[in-house]
């Protein structure tokens, strides 16, 4: 039976950049730490394993082609193949500690091209099983040079011991129809892993919480120049200041009223904890339930193509 109150843990820490195995080991250690503190849900950020390709925002089109090729190959080699047992240690941690895990990964396509990468969020149950996999629908701006387009097959809300969980990645959260697809499935914990940060982003998450009448968990990327490995191509040109915050994090937990209840966690490495009460959802939706008494299905309808992507033959 789902408890109405649970402790959640939002992990805000830098990955072992571009090292899949060591980043998974780090994630397992963070799950153990969070479970020791009583957390039932552990959330990691966008592309946590093996790290978000932050270089795409600094490389110059054309003239940095060689650097881009070397970095992409490295990212491809360190990406997660879900047809293998890459995530076995993380699945074992979920099972051992009886926690639900939501984690962003670089996913390498295992079915068709075997080389296309996707920005993917995986959800692992307390038995270690893969409950859902969602690929980012629309990579943002230069991200399209790294990731393929996802589909709606993973736009699902899943029942877990901590509540009904769904997720959209970064600027997918600005897509009203994608949001409504999750709202219409009775979402209770809306998870938004992201590379974005700052007051504007946090304000958007507060709007989502009020709009949906649910808990919103924003899990931000944390990265400093000093986290970039020494053998990174053109490291000194792209990241000359070792103290620079490439991304400050800003992880946050927001109640269904839109009130910030934990965070923002800015320029800090650690775990953000928050006790959430699911009964606050029904209180928020008493006046505004956009999929219930505030909906007008006689006027508006949403159709979603949930078929998985397949190559055109």
Q: Is 291 a catalytic residue?
A: no
Active-site position among 20, 136, 156, 280:
136
Active-site position among 20, 30, 46, 106:
46
Q: Is 136 a catalytic residue?
A: yes
- pLDDT at residue 1, as a whole number: 44
Residue 220 domain flag: yes
Mean pLDDT calculated for residue range 167-177: 97
Domain count, the chain: 1
Structure confidence by residue, pLDDT tens digits, 233-256: 989 999 999 899 999 999 999 999
Residue 119 domain flag: yes
Structure confidence by residue, pLDDT tens digits, 1-25: 455 889 999 999 999 999 999 999 9
Tokens representing 282 are 């029904």
- Which strands make up the sheet holding 100-108, listed edge to edge? 130-135, 117-124, 100-108, 41-43, 5-12, 270-277
* Dihedral sign of CA atoms 44, 123, 208, 2 in order: negative
Residue 303 domain flag: no
Q: Residue for token digits 């029904």?
A: 282
Mean pLDDT calculated for residue range 95-110: 96
Structure confidence by residue, pLDDT tens digits, 252-265: 999 999 999 999 99
Q: Residue for token digits 């080699």?
A: 77
Residue 297 domain flag: no
Active-site position among 106, 143, 156, 170:
170
Instruction: State if pTM tops 0.85.
Output: yes
Residue 304 domain flag: no
Query: Over 90: is that where the pLDDT of 62 sits?
Result: no
Provide the Cα torsion 271, 272, 274, 280; round to 10°.
-130
CATH code, 67: 3.60.110.10
Domain span at residue 214?
5-285
Structure confidence by residue, pLDDT tens digits, 279-309: 999 999 999 999 999 999 999 999 999 988 8
Residue 121 domain flag: yes
């Amino acid at each position: 039976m789902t408890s109405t109150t649970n402790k959640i843990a939002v992990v805000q820490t830098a990955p072992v950049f571009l090292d899949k195995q060591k980043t998974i080991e780090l994630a397992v250690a963070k799950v153990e730490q969070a479970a020791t503190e009583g957390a039932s849900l552990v959330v990691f950020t966008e592309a946590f394993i093996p790290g978000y390709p932050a270089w795409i925002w600094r490389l110059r089109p054309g003239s940095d082609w060689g650097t881009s090729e070397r970095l992409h190959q490295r990212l491809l080699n360190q990406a997660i193949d879900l047809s293998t047992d890459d995530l076995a240690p993380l699945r074992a941690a979920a099972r051992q500690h009886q926690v639900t895990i939501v984690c962003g990964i670089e996913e390498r396509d295992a079915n068709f091209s075997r080389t296309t990468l996707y920005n993917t969020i995986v959800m692992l149950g307390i038995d270690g099983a893969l409950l859902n996999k969602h690929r980012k629908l629309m990579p943002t701006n230069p991200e399209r040079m790294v990731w393929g387009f996802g589909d709606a097959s993973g736009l699902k809300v899943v029942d877990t011991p901590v509540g009904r969980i769904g997720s959209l990645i970064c600027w997918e959260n600005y897509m009203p129809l994608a949001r409504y697809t999750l709202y219409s499935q009775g979402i209770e914990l809306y998870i938004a892993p992201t590379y974005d940060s700052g007051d504007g982003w946090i304000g958007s998450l507060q709007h989502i919480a009020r709009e949906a009448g649910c808990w919103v968990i924003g899990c931000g990327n944390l990265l400093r120049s000093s986290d970039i490995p020494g053998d990174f191509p053109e490291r000194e040109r792209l990241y000359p200041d070792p103290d620079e915050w490439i991304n400050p994090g800003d992880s946050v937990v927001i109640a269904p009223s839109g009130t910030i209840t934990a965070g923002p966690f800015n320029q800090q490495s650690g775990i953000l904890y928050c006790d959430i009460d699911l009964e606050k959802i029904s209180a928020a939706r008493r006046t505004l339930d956009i999929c219930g008494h505030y909906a007008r299905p006689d006027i508006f309808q949403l159709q979603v193509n949930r078929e998985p992507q397949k190559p055109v033959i």
